[in-house]
Amino acid sequence: MGLKKPLRKVVYALILIAVFLVSYGASLLVISVIPCGHYSARQYSNPQTSINYGSPSTMGGAWQEQLLLVFPAGASNVPRDTSIVIVAPRPVRVFNVTFNPTVAIAEDKFVEYDGFGPSSVQTVYPASLLQLNTTYNVTATVAGTLSWFVFTTSSNPSQVAFAHPLASYDVWVAIIGAILVTLTVSLLMSRSRRSMPHTVLNVSSTT
């Protein structure tokens, strides 16, 4: 004897709610662990605030009297996830930033300010964690002139290279995925339910 119709509807509704919640949670879990560019963010130290490097150092070369703030020039025990920050007293672009040992560049941001006087800040982000306890020689072309500085990284291996925060649209992606799964399960259940009452045992008589 099957369930009565009202009770059967309640059971189906509870099943569909459970399917939606499980598929929604599974979608968020998958999105959160996929290490792709859309869902990962590089985590960098901020040399100007997170570490006391002492007095800001300048670049060597022709620009040493004009580029007043360079982080982490001359510093030791620098986090392996550091960014390179060059603050100029006037808007100046820095090109051809290279590391020795070699480091790939993930991003190079330039911001120009015009407050009390024109100035600029250029931030260079390495594409991967720097090596442990390594001295890096950084060279750059500033207004056509070669400049350089050095720093030494920390021996601490604990810095985390990447995080995987959920983007604002990830929740909607998970909701849409859960809705599609729930609709599919609902359709299969509906077809199964409709086929049951129409199952008739055919009896043929023989004469």
* DSSP per-residue codes, 5-52: HHHHHHHHHHHHHHHHHHHHHHHHHHHHH--STTT-EE----TTTSS-
Distance CA 188, CA 181 (A): 11
Which pLDDT score is estimated for 200? 47
Look at residue 140 and tell me if it is in a domain. yes
Question: Is residue 167 in some structural domain?
Answer: no
Stretch 93-119: mean pLDDT: 84
Q: What is the mean pLDDT of residues 53-68?
A: 63
User: In the block, which residue shows the tokens 């350089």?
Assistant: 148
In which domain, by residue range, is 140 found?
41-162
First-to-last CA distance in the chain? 34
Q: Which residues of 56-88 are buried (b: 16+ CB within 10 A; e: fewer)?
A: bbbbbbebeebbbbbbbbbbeebbbbbbbbbbb
Using the predicted structure, report yes or no on whether residue 202 has a pLDDT greater than 60: no
Tokens read off for 81: 């996830």
Name the residue with higher pLDDT: 152 or 62.
152
Closest CA relative to residue 84, chosen from 92, 193, 75, 203? 75
pLDDT at 161: 65
Q: What is the mean pLDDT of the segment spanning 13-33?
A: 88
> Is 91 contained in some domain?
yes
> Could you give the number of structural domains in the chain?
1
Does 14 map to a domain? Answer: no
d(CA 78, CA 138): 14
Rounded to the nearest integer, the mean pLDDT of the chain is 78
Max mean pLDDT among 50-54, 131-135, 189-193 falls in: 131-135
- Please state the length of the chain: 207
What CATH number is attached to the domain comprising 156?
Answer: 2.60.40.3710
Q: Which residues contact 124 (CB under 8 A, 6 or more apart)?
A: 83, 84, 86, 94, 97, 105, 107, 108, 109
Q: Has residue 192 been placed in a domain? A: no
pLDDT at 134: 96
Residue 99's nearest CA partner among 55, 130, 69 is 130
* Residue 92: per-residue pLDDT: 80
pLDDT at 121: 85
Q: Is residue 51 part of a domain?
A: yes
* Residue with token string 């007095």: 55
Angle at 130 between CA 69 and CA 41, to 5 degrees: 85
| 34 within domain boundaries | no
Higher pLDDT, 30 or 124: 124
Domain-located, residue 33:
no
| pLDDT tens, residue by residue, 148-178 | 889 999 988 776 666 666 666 778 888 998 9
